[in-house]
Structure 1
């Protein structure tokens, strides 16, 4: 809109007609940034334009570029939202296809969002769906609806805040917290809920969601109740988490209408129920045996939990499986039937489950020495899941298989293709780069290796890792200790954290004495044989079969606890030493669990916890605590 040819200001008329197929267009004066106007079919604006001046207007679809949705809108096919959008009172947004969402969508009170059969809402960059109005997402067994992130933890889930809605036959996955429910009572059934931290988080005493026939999992908690958050839960499977149900406060019902029929799976690595509140846990719930010293139900604080008429896998339920005041009369001798506990439908395997199921098959071939078949399997999985972070694992084992078949020199072009493939996950591209750098170092072409290392962003985690690789390569393959030291010096100025210090110290020790145990012999250690700090020195051999020695350093007389976990976080073996003198100590693990049975091949995690028993310099009782964890592999 211009007025370049006059000496006076004028009132200009601007007519905008919407023939785009979108019901909501946001019109913005780019220069004045006056409040946006949303048009449906047409819009007439009158604007005072100064002499010789002009204005620039932008007209864009709200469902793509954000703003206020003021008219009912239906989108199909594939669409992308780049800026924040609000769905106003009395307005409905209907989604029939795929919607890529980079900024928050907020459904205001009186607003509504509807996802129809087969719809996919994919969230990026920590975005959320915030519902103050209503969410309706009703799929069916053949056409489920998906709410997901670009990767695990990439979005912040669906947030019901003083809101309502119904969600059925949906997959709500890859969020930090999949469902955040505050003073709301949505109905959720036949869903798969999987999160990086918490599956379902319920807050506020007026929160009474009804969640049923669903699989619920989260790395930390399947369900967490906070600030008197409540709810009705029945026929659910709680799985793949540290805790099944965690009640900070509240009185949720897990005995809905006297028939809870929830199942607490073996894959819950700690307490099945941990509660400071008063959840109702009775009637036909199914509890699998807890791991190690953890409990079916751990009741802390005041009050009693009633868990009558439930099934406990260890019958009759021993007191050792409970903590606090828990009444559990009339325990069932057999699992509940007609109907059984749990959702009653088979969970569709998502990318992670599919990947690791197939990945484990190839891993078994690798363990059996069938490297050619393993290599082909790892390659197939890498390409199938190329846009997922999981593919970096299979690519790494593809290269390890190639190495055991006689060398990795033939894989250069394949690694370059992964590196250049735009859809490949950034970590997979990075592992391709790591292997290419490794090849150049082995070939003695160190300048090419340094050029590869310079491709990553400086002071990034990738820069950190490649700098360490480059320093090791220069020393191991070229014998150039001086340049390796210079790289480590530069790295220590970029990163000043403890992890960097430990990594650099470890490498320098290898360059100094060739030890594969990573010991740091300080002046005190050299003079007295006593280390000057607590340290986990790793295990050797690794991989191992049948025994491995875990070494550590004690500067003081200390108590030592070593716990070995499987990859699901379940305790396998515990070592407790009430008092051990200072010095370089070790514990030998024979690869057996607490029952004396040999463990299966695979990756295990060991955690060392040390507490000083000596007085501090000020005379106070010693309380210095050292905790460190690492991985080891049993290879049969």
Structure 2
């Protein structure tokens, strides 16, 4: 053997082929290499290498599987504080990272005033591969030495604001992550089974590349806060990919936001401020996962119409959130899920959302003392619950609450309602005038039973879609619409056509079809939905300017308050999509009050509109219904106006009335009246001034009628100067 070192003294205890080193003492140098002079027994072996010139290094590989390293440092007085941590690589020789011990002994070489001490643990960061430990290497060190490969695992350390390079793997030691960490395209961040990263309050992970967190049933990965303050978010960007399995995710503000593709299997989300946000995703598969006590929602899916195999929520337990699953302009697939004890709704659907819901249990929706509806609908949303064998157990409240005026006739057969009393079931739908076909009903709970196949054109199309045969699916959906455009299945079929569209040409053709539907079926729910979806097709085919213009024109129609909020949100999302596509700079707006000039402004307006939508709910948690049967708030006239307009309302009985004006931000501008009014018709004039007597600017305003302290109706008016 030949030993390459400049040490004044060294000792090595090893067998003849260096496959089992027991001890190394190195004095006066920072590197030690063994060379086989025969050239056949073993390749050159670098045993130890450091960039720190220590006095001495002593390393001992013990029979109990430990590696103990002592670095001896000498200093002139005064000894520098803190004592520097040695950076070195050393042969593992089969030692696991939890059995690595590294110490520092230090002393002063001042004989008149000697100082000495020991640091029992000098490891700030630790990485390892099959051959070596890398002690106190920074992330930049690992990247600079091209060590970031699938062979290397980072076991310990604090990493703030890093940009992931190549493949970066975090193991099961003490990992602390903070600040904005990014994963660029063509790079990957990996969390190994048993990893438990501690996340600082400013931790934000943005993934344009790949995130892999595949734990094991007995070796889970846990993401949790580092201190008492919740961490920020994990965001999968458009084009990014993420896989989570056997992960526990705790105490995040926004624990998982996905605009790319995400797979979540057998995970546990607990005590987060919100659940999983799927925002215009390229795909998602959420299954066998529990989402508990996650604030405003368990899952929120918005602006998404994807084929079935890219868009499903299956066999999940979602409970103790405000909303279980919330759909906004989205049609996903809910299968064998359990939605239990959420506060405001088990399933919430807005903006022409028609998800498939099958073999799913929705029950015990309650915000004490209010027993709230299991399913809530608004703005042309009709989830597919017909012959899909669900358990919708409504207790003392509503089973399905529809906030639309004159909702379309609906089918929801073969479901279990917690009772077989037809009268009780029929009375559980809101409004009471809503025609819902429920027979045949299930006589016992469905969940756990395999349903028989449905028949009919829509169901044949849905089966083809789930099998990936989009050509057949579209043909069946078109035929279903042609057969009876007034049937609920025609509305479902028209919506599912979006899920079967995958290219710009598909969306362009579908837009023309929607426009034809809206014109040939005027004054119908199918027409209303088709009109809005035709604009959405412009967005999907990147015709952002046309989409914004058409949304603005829709705002000028006599639409409800909640539809105005949804349309403003559609404008915001169109701008965001154009910004992501690099095409937002040339967008023009008909009304300056709708104008958006930056992504930050769009994000702020989005947050404001969602807040406004949540605030405009009844005290029992129900979505605001634009016009209740007993009270009428009429359209103002003239409209647009300058400077005055008349606002009329009618009452079936004497009541305490409050009529307020709000701006687009939801801020109260003017109290027009706050008095007791008798039964009958009444008129109030607004002169375009606020509570301080100052004239307000041009723009959209909302006037809201409250009767005996409860909101009954809100409408929109337009002031043009």
Same-fold status (TM-score > 0.5): no
Q: TM tier, shorter chain?
A: 0.3 to 0.5
TM (norm. structure 2) is 0.38
Superposition TM-score, scaled by structure 1 size: 0.42
| Larger of the two Rg values belongs to structure | 2
